[in-house]
Amino acid sequence: MITHKGPLTTEEFMAWLKDGKDMLAVERTKVWACFIKIPQRDGIDLIFHQDGYAGLRELPCFDCGFKPTGLYKQDEQKLYCPNVPACAVSDWQNVPANTELYLRREFCKGVRERIEDIVNNGRKGLPKELSDEKLIEAVASYREFYADEAAARLLVESSPDKCLQFRSKYTTADMDDGLLDFLQDRKGFVDRTAMVYISLHKEEILAELMKIDILREKYEAILADPDNPLHRMRQISDAVRSSGATTVRVTIEKDGAQATIRTSAKSLSGYHPTYNDFDAPAADSKAFREAFGSWANYTAADVRAITYGRKTIYEAPAPEVKQAEMPAKSFTMTMGGM
């Protein structure tokens, strides 16, 4: 056993982890600690320690049990799942280490990416159709109640390249049983875990893929229809987002009336089945309600123009004017610069 008087430095502790063969004891005036290293796998050592008050028992005390200090990976010279006693290593915060939480996140991220790679490239190992009645019902419910809005949001707010791909929800609460396997062979353990997960969740994965297929169908139908008002909504959203504005003026024309109000850029950004005057100043809100009625709203098709300062950031295509059509009543507020 190697005995060290006074606390260790990080360098001394790491040197023992790398090359030490014997038990390491740390003696101080009032406290003591000792470390033991047990080879577990090729290149991985289990580190344990005892610590306590000097004079209470012999050093070490094999009847008292040891506490886990961590897993030392030799090729990385790093301690995983660290629990280094502060009384033994003065600057223990500087010990090169990664926590169990870090490992679990790295592991789960790797498994999710591997599952997605397998599923999105050929749907390997999956059944051709569903047999689980609950999953069949869930897919049908998605088509009937949720897919249309999801496709609309996809057009206005999201990136289709990401949303039209399968995304795994794999997670794990702990890695006690697989920690050593993961440290020894990260890629191999991730691959094996991904394959096991897919084999146990084939129908759930297929159901998610079927929902993605429905979403793609709805999304492509919107793209194929240039008159769909969602295209205007996206143009409005893109315009206010790219402008950097916090407040804009929006000119609304509907039911033969017109009003221009100030409103927050946020209220026009993203997917909105309808817009309202809730973010408008009182005078603007009054003009809006005089033009369209109390509790009225408007849609993307009703927006004629949006300005930020003196710049027009969005302008709707000119509507077809019928000969018998009368000019719209104007309730535009006269306001100063923004």
Q: Are residues 124 and 196 in the same domain?
A: yes
Q: Are residues 219 and 122 in the same domain?
A: yes
Query: By percentage, how much of the chain surpasses pLDDT 70?
Result: 91
State mean pLDDT over 68-89: 93
Cα separation, 124 vs 148, in Å, equals 29
Same domain, 241 and 206: no
Q: Is residue 140 part of a domain?
A: yes
Quick check: 14 pLDDT over 70? yes
pLDDT higher than threshold 60 for residue 296: yes
Q: Are residues 30 and 52 in the same domain?
A: yes
Cβ 297 vs Cβ 276: under 8 Å: yes
pLDDT value of position 42: 86
What is the residue range of 108's domain?
102-223
Residues 115 and 54 in one domain: no
Using alpha carbons only, what angle is made at residue 234 by residues 286 and 158, rounded to the nearest 5 degrees? 125
Looking at the fold, whether 318 and 272 belong to one and the same domain comes out as: yes
Q: What is the mean pLDDT of residues 28-43?
A: 86
Number of domains in the chain: 3
Please state, in angstroms and rounded to a whole number, the distance separating the CA atoms of residues 214 and 230.
Answer: 18
pLDDT at residue 17 tops 90: yes
- Residue 172 CA to residue 170 CA, distance in Å, equals 7
Distance of alpha carbon 121 from alpha carbon 246, whole angstroms: 42
Specify the higher pLDDT residue, 29 or 224.
224
Which of 98, 118, 141 marks a domain boundary? Answer: 98
Is the confidence at residue 139, as pLDDT, over 90? yes
Is residue 258 within 8 Å of residue 328, measured between CB atoms? yes
Q: Is the peptide bond before 60 cis (omega within 30 degrees of 0)?
A: yes
Most confident of 53-67, 165-179, 296-310: 296-310
The Cβ of residue 218 has, within 10 Å, a number of other Cβ atoms equal to 18
More confident residue, 212 or 174: 212
Residues 107 and 150 in one domain: yes
pLDDT at residue 114 in the model:
96
Any domain includes 336: no
Q: Picking from 155-164, 195-204, 218-227, 261-270, which range would have the lowest pLDDT averaged per residue?
A: 155-164
Same structural domain for residues 144 and 219? yes
Whether residue 338 lies inside any domain: the answer is no
Q: Which two tokens stand for residue 15?
A: 């040197």
Q: Are residues 108 and 80 in the same domain?
A: no
**Domain-ending residue, one of 166, 189, 223:** 223
**Residue 15: is its pLDDT beyond 90?**
yes
Nearest to 87 by CA among 25, 7, 4: 7
For residue 335, being part of any structural domain is answered with no
Instruction: Flag whether pLDDT at 29 surpasses 80.
Output: no
Summarize pLDDT for 244-261 with one digit per residue, the tens: 999 999 999 999 999 999
Other Cβ atoms within 10 Å of 230 Cβ, number:
18
Do 213 and 118 lie in one domain? The reply is yes
Last residue of a domain, one of 201, 223, 245: 223
Asked if the model's pLDDT at residue 335 lies above 50, the reply is: no
Q: Using pLDDT thresholds of 50, 70 and 90, give the confidence band for residue 124.
A: confident
Residue 293 is given by DSSP the state -
| 265 against 58, higher pLDDT | 265
Nearest C-alpha neighbor of 163 from the set 127, 126, 214: 214
In a domain, 154, yes or no: yes
The verdict on 153 and 122 lying in the same domain is: yes
The mean of the pLDDT values for the chain is 89
Distance CA(151)–CA(335), nearest Å, equals: 38
- How is residue 269 written in tokens? 């950004």
User: Is the domain of 48 the same as that of 113?
Assistant: no
| pLDDT reading at 331 higher than 70 | no
Tell which residue, 209, 299, 216, 215, has the closest CA to residue 252.
Answer: 299
